[in-house]
Amino acid sequence: MKRKLIAFIYLTLLTGWLEAQEFSVSDQLQIDTVLSEGIAEFNIPGVVGLVTNKDQVIYQGAFGKADIRNNVEMRTDNIFRIASMTKPITSAAVMLLIEQNKLKLNNPISNFLPQLANREIFTNFNFEDGTYETRPAQNEITIKHLLTHTSGLAYWFNSHQLVKLGNGGIVASWVYPLHHEPGERWTYSDATAVLGDLIVKVSDQNLFEFIDEYLLTPLGMEETFFNVPGNETGRVVTAHRKVESTFVEAPNPSQITAAERGDGGLSSTAADYAKFMRMFLNDGKSDTGTRVLLKETIELMSMNHIGELKAELQPSANSYWAEPFPQGAGVDNWGLGFQLAGEDGRNKRSKGSMTWGGIYNTKFWIDEVNGIAAVLLMQYLPFDDEAALSVLGQFEEAIYKNLH
Q: Say what the pTM is.
A: 0.94
Q: What pLDDT is stored for residue 20 in this prediction?
A: 65
CA distance 37 to 387: 12
Q: What CATH number is associated with residue 230?
A: 3.40.710.10
User: For residue 16, is it within any domain?
Assistant: no
User: For residue 323, is it within any domain?
Assistant: yes
CA distance 213 to 234: 26
Let me know if 38 is exposed, middle or buried by CB neighbors in 10 A (0-12, 13-18, 19+): buried
**Given strand 246-250, what is the order of strands in its sheet?**
246-250, 239-243, 380-381
pLDDT in tens, 246-302: 999 999 999 999 999 999 999 999 999 999 999 999 999 999 999 999 999 999 999
Reduced to 3 states (helix: H, G, I; strand: E, B; else coil), residue 145 is: helix
54 and 282 Cβ atoms separated by less than 8 Å: yes
Q: What are phi and psi of 350, to 5 degrees?
A: -80, 155
Sequence-separated (6 or more) residues with CB below 8 Å from residue 167: none
Q: What pLDDT is stored for residue 293 in this prediction?
A: 98
165 and 156 Cβ atoms separated by less than 8 Å: no
- Beta-bridged to residue 333, according to DSSP, are 340
> Which of 106, 85, 337, 98 is CA-nearest to residue 203?
98
Let me know if 328 is exposed, middle or buried by CB neighbors in 10 A (0-12, 13-18, 19+): middle
User: For residue 203, is it within any domain?
Assistant: yes
User: For residue 2, is it within any domain?
Assistant: no
Sign of torsion over alpha carbons 168, 142, 207, 278? negative
Q: What pLDDT is stored for residue 326 in this prediction?
A: 98
Q: What pLDDT is stored for residue 245 in this prediction?
A: 87
Let me know if 315 is exposed, middle or buried by CB neighbors in 10 A (0-12, 13-18, 19+): middle
User: For residue 33, is it within any domain?
Assistant: yes
CA distance 94 to 106: 13
Residues (pLDDT < 50) of the chain are 1-18
User: For residue 6, is it within any domain?
Assistant: no
User: For residue 326, is it within any domain?
Assistant: yes
Sequence-separated (6 or more) residues with CB below 8 Å from residue 26: none
Q: What pLDDT is stored for residue 1 in this prediction?
A: 44
Q: What pLDDT is stored for residue 2 in this prediction?
A: 42
Neighbours of 71 (CB within 10 A): 8
Domain region containing 240 = 21-402
> Which of 253, 248, 213 is CA-nearest to residue 233?
253
User: For residue 1, is it within any domain?
Assistant: no
Count of domains for the chain: 1
CA distance 177 to 164: 13
State which H helix or E strand residue 375 sits in.
strand 372-377
